[in-house]
Structure formats: structure tokens, C-alpha cells
Structure 1
């Protein structure tokens, strides 16, 4: 397939569709005195993490949601972070909790994730949330994997019976998206940067999900002609995990970076927060 025929999977269009459906739901909650509220926790002063948190806060405000930002110093201990999360768990006006990761060295990130109450785990980071996703009934699956599935659905790209190759095995991206594709009746091969003869395995894929965290890792000659390529990576300089220009030549459809999976991830986070507000909402405290 030539480059001019390749379908560019516009994440902004998918995200706008998700957010358009949220306006009426948020208005309905407002009539009951409920404002969906997402609490974000940022530990340390990493500029990229700060930018992500700010983007999520701005996205909330544009939809008429509330965003609470909790900033903690880089020398915060695991115990102090867990205590802050438990305070948010107890606050009935907070419907979703997002811990921006990675956290500074010295903090037990898994212990912090596990402190998030399952009903507020809108980013799907807890072990229980992971297990529910694997079984196919998570209320709030991990947002980036859910975004990948939303793009496939929006563009009506077939998954059933297709061979999907996922490059990456993190507990909040590679593993959960593998489970979601499997639950959608794809045949899934989960690979990683140490997989033997990785290019040959990727070349068998009808659907490629790149989630390895290495810039321009997936090369153009790895892609089978007609494959769908979803780049879930984001590296400094607005660079994904896929060599975009090289992969265009063979891909039938491909996500760009930026404006691919990223905007849909944020929209999914907002949707999960609204879902939680509808399920567990209460009147906001003045």
C-alpha cells in the first residue's frame, strides 16, 4: 500500500467524539449537584510530568469538571504518599485519583498504586483493576490500552481473528492491552525489547501496538503490508516508539505522534471519572 493511501488515525477526532458524549452526562450530574472531580498527584518537579498533569487539569475544566492537584516534594516518602492518597479516598467529592508516574526513586510505586481505592482507580493501575481487565469486566481499564481499543473501534478496524503483536509488557500498557485485544478475539503475541528475532514476529502482525518506550524502535521493514500500526509510545521531542515515516509505506493505517493515542488516553481518563461520578457521586462539599 502506498503512502498516499495510508489511513492516518487521528486521535484528536476520536477524543473529540468521546468528550462530546460527556457534555450531556456532566450536565445531568450538575442537575443533581454533582461535579465530576479528578484528583491528580504529582511527586517531584519533573517538567514532563508537570506538563501532563496540567494538560489533564485543563481538559477537566473545558468539560466543566473539577480538577484537584496535589503537589508533593521529591523527597516525599512512600508512607507520606500513601497517606495523601488515603485522604483522597476518603473525600467523597473526589471521584477519580491519578498518580502521575513514574514517581521519584525511593518511592514504592506499586504500594502507592495499591493505596488507590478501586472505585477511584480511573487510570486502571491497581492489581485488582488489572485482574478485572484481564477477565473482561473492568469498570476502568488502563487508559492508554483503552484508548488503543477506542481508536480501533472508531475507525471500524477489525480485531476479531486478527493477529496482534504488542511490543511491551508493562502492567499499565503492554499487558493490559494484550488482554483487551485477546478479549476482543484477536490472537495476541506479547513481545518486548529482548524478544528473539523481534522483527520477524512483528512482520506477521495484522495489528501492531508499540509500547516499548524506545524512540523510533519499530522500523518500516518490520511492518507487513496492510498492517494497522498503533504507536502508544511517547518520548522526548514528540517522538513515538514507531519510525513513523518509514512505517507509512507498508501500513494500511497508523497513528501519528503527537495527536494519536495521547489525546484519546486523556479523553478516556475523563470518561472514567464521569463514569465514577455517576456510579458513586455525591454532593460536593462547599
Structure 2
């Protein structure tokens, strides 16, 4: 029997309805809606697509959204100057700096510059440290989006073997911590993991966010496993994930599609984080 397809759109819509109600309530109190500014560097099509998606969903969530783009040759100092302006702008509640940044930019310095109270994607050392210590405030929206999908479909996490493929600061590492906090037994894999397929076949919950289209094939998946595909790769075929969806759905018990899986939930969670930041602002 083919896997259950975990459609993220109804999950996202539920979150957006809750955010819209909270945004309207806050706007009535202080005279303006929550405001989010997203900053991208260069002309990456994935970034522009993501920002357009945020804009569409922000309207549903009653949140003011603005996208700003710096040129591809922007310097670290130039990006930091832009962030500092947003940090002190009283009309801005949340700031998203799209990661990963181009290789010539110092992502660590950028993250350290961002005001933790406006850091709606949880990239600052302050928010990352809080997550590590089990005292989270603003947390990365992508891994939370994956967990929201599991909860919405009643898929248990506690006591299960979870494997995370990818170790980025915005997905793999925080996702592993969140799964640990849900009492899963977690293994983190990466590009230097030996015999990757042997490890992934042990997973009851397989989470993939390595940025390599089609990385996970059917022979790498445990029968009836839950597969969360966090990949967003632009190819000649359009947007695809890190999992060979058509093949893996014949093996897995449940799987998220790309597009339409974790993506819309991630955006909804980002907007929920913006509302939370606005309430504290």
C-alpha cells in the first residue's frame, strides 16, 4: 500500500487562522499589525520564491511583510548595517535573514548582530542556546514545521528512532534537539557519514534536509517509516525535495511531498513567530 501523503497545507491554514486572530487583537491594542522584514542577498530563485510565499501567507495572517534584497556582491559590513537599522526600527517586529548566505559573507557575524527579540527564525546565539538548554523562545521555523506536521497527523515521536540527514544550524541541529526534547532517540547524519543507507534504514522517522535532490531512494528507507522531506531544490523539473518521492512512497508508511508538505507549514510557523515577537516588542 502506498504511503499516506502528509499534506502540509491544511496544517498551515490552521496555524494561519490562529495567527490572524492574534494579529487582529494586537493591532486593535497598539494601532498597527505585526511587521516582518525579510532580507535576502543576491538573486537566488529559491529565496525569491520563498519570500513571495511569505508575502501571500502574511496577508492571510494579517501581518505586514516586506522583502528587501541586497546585491550579490554585498559585503558582510553592508548586510550588518542593514540589520542594525532594522534592529532599532520600532515599526519592525521580526527580521528574517535568509540562510544560507553567499559564501563570501560571514554568517556568524550576521547572526550575532541580529536582535534576538526580533530573530524570528532562531539563528542568533541567544536563541540557539535557549533551544539547546531546553528553554526555547524564538526557534527555527523549518524544523518546527516538520514537528507540526507530525502532531497534526497524530504521528507519535516519543520512544521512536529518528534519523536526521543534514546538520545545518537552521535545520539539522535544531531539529535533532527538538526531537530529543520529544523523547525520540536521535541519530544525525551528514556528508561524511559512512554507509548512509544502513543508518537511514534504521529510522522510524526519517528527516531529510541535506540540499541534494533525490538523495534518499527507496532502498534507503525502512518499510512503513515516516519520511519528512525538508529539501527545497530548484531543478529543470521545478521544485523537488531530497527524497525520491515516487519511489519512496511505495515503501514508507507516510511521507511529505515537495512542494505542499513542510514548506507552507514552515512559513506559517515563521509568521506565528513574528506574532510572538510582536507581543514581546
**Is the pair's TM-score, using the shorter chain for normalization, greater than 0.5?**
yes
Query: Structure 1 stretches (4+) deviating beyond 4 angstroms?
Result: none
Aligned length: 277
Distance 2:226 2:45 in 1: 32
Candidates 136, 141, 162, aligned match of 2:134: 136
Tell me which residue corresponds to 1:56. 54
Gaps of 5+ in 1: 281-286
The answer to whether 1:186 aligns with 2:184 is: yes
> How far off is 1:193 after superposition?
2.5
CA contact (8 A) 2:20 2:60 kept: no
> How far off is 1:88 after superposition?
0.5
Distance 2:52 2:257 in 1: 22
Distance 1:24 1:62 in 2: 10
Tell me which residue corresponds to 2:260. 259
Residues 40-79 of structure 1 show CA distances to partners (whole Å, capped at 9, x for unaligned) of: 1122222322222222123212322111232222222111
Distance 2:5 2:146 in 1: 14
Candidates 7, 25, 36, aligned match of 2:22: 25
Tell me which residue corresponds to 2:108. 110
Tell me which residue corresponds to 1:169. 167
Residues 126-180 of structure 1 show CA distances to partners (whole Å, capped at 9, x for unaligned) of: 1221121122222111111110111111111010000000011111101110000
Tell me which residue corresponds to 2:243. 242
Tell me which residue corresponds to 1:120. 118
User: Equivalent residues in 2 for 1:67-78 (5 A)?
Assistant: 67-78=65-76
Distance 2:136 2:155 in 1: 23
Distance 2:195 2:46 in 1: 33
CA contact (8 A) 1:44 1:103 kept: no
CA contact (8 A) 1:38 1:97 kept: yes
- Aligned-residue Cα RMSD (Å) equals 1.2
CA contact (8 A) 2:84 2:113 kept: yes
Distance 2:216 2:206 in 1: 10
Candidates 83, 91, 105, aligned match of 1:93: 91
Q: TM-score, normalised by structure 2?
A: 0.95
Distance 1:250 1:265 in 2: 26
Residues 176-213 of structure 1 show CA distances to partners (whole Å, capped at 9, x for unaligned) of: 10000001000000011321111111111110000111
Distance 1:211 1:264 in 2: 15
